Chain A
């Protein structure tokens, strides 16, 4: 499909009366006496790259497996393109999955793996071969057609798993931590490739990850999971800059969560507030503060050099610890601006603070 695939799909969904995409209505899943997912409601729009982000055990993979049909929901309903699929078997759902460890069939060649879904649907041999060829070209692995999965590298296997799922042109593609087993550099390359492929094919992607950076990089929208519930759904910008709960603020990047007791003293707001380390500036204790800024005095408790930036952990007299991040944009040999024990003033723009409801 051309670049306009997504636009076409969106137009189609706007025109047709049935709602496209995936919707979950008060879905609950109980394993024994453990509630894995509790009364979950979720709308995933057609054609979007949607991430389910959360720590392990937060229920995100269970939700994915229920959408795929590998697990039955204990209660609630799941709709796919307006059709109730709650009790449908996986092979009857127009959904395909890319598994965490790829799940390629070890006894089949790459071409047979990619063509498996077509063969099962009894598609003709020549058409299958043609479509397999095209799918392999799409992931730039046409030359591996006759190899066995164990002869491929992790990144290649990952792309084959993707090709095997996409060849069936599902209305939703589910990805279960697909990049988890790759090393950092390959992971970043694959992120770019995934995003490109998603834009090309225009299929809804539901992507499970515990890596907040990955979710922020890839997604149109993110659902943050915790303890079987969704804490917040929003665009990457929304969930990062305007966390609705303390958990979201803490899980996405580093956050200075200032408890109401401290917040009321420093800012006069008697609520839990959050300010990101990159928005906190450090200055000498004696330096002046502008009218639109808030500041607090403290001493440097620890410094952490991360390469592109240095993090300073400040402790105030009241015992509050704050993190300030400073880009290392100075001369490479210059000494750090502050050392342990220095008295400093942590300053931020008053309106850069977000209040956590």
Chain B
């Protein structure tokens, strides 16, 4: 871990009331994040996205969150007022979502959405905001920023939309970013471009990154450390470089179940999920 701790999570729990009783989506997750890249991996329903949303303050209102500690840079997130949370969100903590098609405002031009983020958090004039938005679009390798600035989300490709979202998230200069499956909706070749941009910006700006994904191989090639979640719990925490020595059968299962070019295995090994892992 490098430098001081940005985020401290201890015994985080997220519970949803349903007609059939309480469902615990996150059951006692603990980790801390410095200025590093941390991956959170698990299947659907493992609680990885709910962990990210709880940190961001985007948990649905009916859910209950508890933790013995949930602090961002010394600020107790659970005790913070909605107003304080809003000031943090976008300014110091940013989040990239999976699908640009659904997470950008469809009736607002891309440029205006970026400018809106900037002017919510900083006192800047219209002309300066526009210049900074254009510079940010350029930083995410959009070739013709002036043209893209005036386009609406439906007029751009998935990869371009995702770059625009990264630009929007980075414009206020956050210290921590949560990326929830940022490339799952993109083509393989575009995926690598977007990851490259994300990687460069995160290291240039010395941000802390939480990368949430179901693809263990991708995460381990991108992150410094990886947390593996199953049924709302952390089953294993390890350095990305030591992934091949993973101990937990669930981690090993996730690692082995993907088909790989040049490794013939018929049938593919499947996960044999054991109830005791969730205990």
A, B: real partners: no
Instruction: Please list the residues of chain A having a beta carbon within 8 angstroms of any beta carbon in chain B.
Output: none
